[in-house]
């Protein structure tokens, strides 16, 4: 996919969404469950779509919420349900719809007390905190399409383990949701909105204070405060827009905060590589505004819209590649959390950089390589068998200082604050620490490219088998392995990975957009990486 002329430039007014049209379409357009694209479909991060495309409308949320209520009843989950929303335009009406169903089903639900927004990791933290203190099991709903463009909406469910639901749960919710749609929602219970909002089962809740007060259990907040380093925090108009001010004030940080107000058009963003507005804090194009300010701060960072991803900007290197920062974070944490057991492993997705494996070998830690999706780290974080779980797409979480679980969902806030801790305690930013790793282990050259793919083509790529690949070499090197299952847990990867001594590529269809992704890495040079990418595209083209 070639670079768009608008990539990295301030979003023009012509790109801004029509918010009234989007919300009107949410309530007025009726999806046809006979059309696949208009059915409920849970990908790696829940159901996503747009009201304009009849893929995220009121009827979808009525059906999904009822299916969640039915699942809770079957599973014996009778505790509080923690619900949060992000700042996408469709999130607020979707929460109102969900409340109508939850109240009718007499589910005890907590929503932000100030009619505000709640980050994904804060919902996970609330679930785990509640479940550690009481016998009734709590769970959660997060209404967010993550970093997707402003016209999109999203809805995901977190069971009592606090992390993303696995397919054994989402499969049930998806199936039952579509059956409800097919039957014209006759089995959906819901109350009029005014009655639902006043229901005794709906509780306004302070999400900010418990999370912010607890941060010192996972990050050395005192070291950051006492260092007086100047921090730039870009809330990017997302669900954590009230959190950085609370963190700054609670711990006395020297922090400038940007875009801490809701704007559902996200007019302050710079365009992503494809010319779209996308709140991707791992994209140097979307993050161009903060990158331009990098020399004003010792460390700066941003988050995607639901604050589960991190974007680290340093004076030394600009926006750090997420893989580079994961390696730095792992190396630093292993050396600076003395209470952690030496037996705990490192969780990484199989499309994350191999420099993580080299760091792990150097510090004597096992690597558990799993498919794409943070759900694969939930059990390890919950029970402390991994101290860190990280994805190549800038999502990660890690244990508290005492070695117990913090969140089982991605937490962009603590990864950003960890960058501040590293800078404060070492006097060097994470970009400088990454250069130390390169000098020690070699320089990986990593890239992800995307290309259009229809739903039918994505299905083909998802189901490729090793025997389908006839090639024996890749970019001049013998192929050592063709993987369709992850080495760490033998789970299907939803695509395939081809590995040589000094490079690899992975093909994977997107779970939320009509594209497929080619991840590739070389430990030789840029020309070698280009060869890997070209041969990967040729291989993919044989099946499309």
Spatial CA neighbour of 51 closest among 21, 92, 14: 21
Which one-letter DSSP state was computed for residue 204?
E
Mention every residue, 6+ apart, whose C-beta is less than 8 A from residue 94. Answer: 26, 56, 61, 85, 143, 153, 155
Q: What is the Cα–Cα distance from 419 to 231, expressed in whole angstroms?
A: 10
Q: Annotated catalytic sites, by residue?
A: 146
- By the 8 A CB rule, do 413 and 240 touch? yes
In the numeric block, which tokens belong to residue 495?
């695509």
In the numeric block, which tokens belong to residue 298?
């010792």
| CB neighbourhood size of 19 (10 A) | 15
Cα-to-chain-centroid distance, residue 313? 18
How, if at all, do strands 318-319 and 310-314 pair? Answer: antiparallel
Q: Which residues pair with 517 in a beta bridge?
A: 450, 508
**Radius of gyration of the chain from Cα atoms?**
22
CA quadruple 121, 122, 123, 127: dihedral positive or negative? positive
End-to-end CA separation in angstroms for the chain: 16
Q: What is the Cα–Cα distance from 414 to 74, expressed in whole angstroms?
A: 35
| Per-residue b or e along 371-405, where b marks 16 or more CB atoms closer than 10 Å to that residue's CB | bbbbbbbbbbbbebebbbbbbbbbbbbbbbbeebb
Count how many Cα atoms sit within 13 Å of the Cα of residue 526 in the half-sphere of its side chain.
Answer: 0
CA quadruple 380, 385, 390, 391: dihedral positive or negative? negative
C-alpha distances in angstroms, 409 versus 268, 279, 488?
Answer: 28, 19, 19
- By the 8 A CB rule, do 15 and 277 touch? yes
CA angle 205, 209, 215 (to 5 degrees): 135
């Amino acid at each position: 996919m070639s670079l768009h002329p608008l990539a990295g430039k301030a979003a023009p007014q012509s790109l801004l969404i029509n918010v009234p049209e989007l919300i009107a379409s949410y309530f007025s357009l009726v999806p046809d469950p006979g059309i696949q694209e208009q059915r409920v479909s849970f990908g790696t991060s829940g159901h996503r779509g747009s009201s304009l495309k009849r893929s995220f409308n009121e009827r979808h949320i009525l059906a999904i919420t009822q299916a969640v209520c039915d699942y809770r009843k079957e599973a014996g989950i009778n505790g509080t349900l923690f619900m949060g929303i992000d700042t996408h335009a469709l999130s607020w009406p979707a929460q109102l719809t969900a409340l109508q169903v939850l109240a009718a089903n007499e589910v005890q639900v907590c929503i932000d007390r100030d009619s505000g927004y709640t980050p994904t990791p804060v919902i996970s933290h609330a679930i785990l905190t509640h479940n550690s203190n009481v016998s009734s099991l709590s769970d959660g709903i997060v209404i967010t399409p993550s970093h997707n463009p402003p016209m999109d909406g999203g809805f995901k469910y977190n069971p009592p383990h606090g992390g993303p639901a696995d397919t054994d749960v989402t499969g049930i919710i998806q199936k039952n949701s579509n059956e409800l749609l097919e039957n014209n929602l006759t089995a959906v219970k819901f109350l009029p909105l005014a009655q639902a909002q006043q229901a005794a089962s709906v509780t306004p809740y302070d999400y900010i204070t418990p999370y912010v007060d607890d941060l010192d259990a996972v990050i050395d907040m005192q070291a950051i405060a006492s260092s007086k380093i100047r921090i730039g925090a870009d809330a990017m108009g997302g669900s954590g827009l009230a959190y950085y001010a609370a963190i700054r004030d609670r711990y006395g940080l020297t922090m400038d905060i940007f875009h801490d107000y809701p704007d559902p058009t996200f007019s302050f963003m710079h365009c992503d590589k494809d010319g779209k507005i996308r709140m991707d804090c791992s994209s140097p194009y979307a993050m161009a505004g903060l990158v331009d300010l990098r020399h004003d701060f010792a460390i700066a960072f941003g988050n995607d819209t639901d604050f589960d991803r991190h974007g680290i900007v340093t004076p030394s290197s600009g926006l750090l590649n997420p893989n580079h920062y994961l390696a730095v974070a792992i190396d630093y944490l292993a050396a600076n959390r003395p209470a952690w057991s030496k037996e705990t492993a490192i969780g990484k997705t199989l499309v994350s950089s191999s420099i993580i494996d080299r760091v792990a070998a150097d510090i004597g830690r096992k690597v558990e390589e799993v498919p794409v999706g943070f759900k694969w780290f939930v059990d390890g974080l919950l029970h402390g068998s991994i101290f860190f779980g990280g994805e190549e797409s800038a999502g990660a979480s890690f244990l508290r200082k005492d070695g117990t679980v913090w969140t089982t969902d991605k937490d962009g806030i603590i990864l950003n604050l960890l960058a501040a801790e590293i800078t404060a305690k070492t006097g060097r930013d994470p970009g400088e620490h990454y250069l130390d790793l390169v000098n020690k282990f070699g320089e990986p050259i990593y890239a992800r490219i995307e290309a259009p793919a229809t739903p039918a083509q994505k299905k083909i790529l998802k189901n490729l088998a090793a025997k389908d690949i006839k090639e024996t070499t890749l970019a001049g090197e013998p192929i050592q392995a063709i993987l369709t299952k992850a080495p760490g847990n033998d789970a299907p990867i939803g695509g395939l990975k081809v590995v040589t001594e000094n490079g690899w590529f992975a093909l994977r269809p997107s779970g939320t957009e009509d594209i497929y992704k080619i991840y590739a890495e070389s430990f030789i040079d840029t020309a070698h990486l280009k060869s890997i990418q070209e041969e990967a595209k040729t291989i993919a083209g044989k099946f499309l």
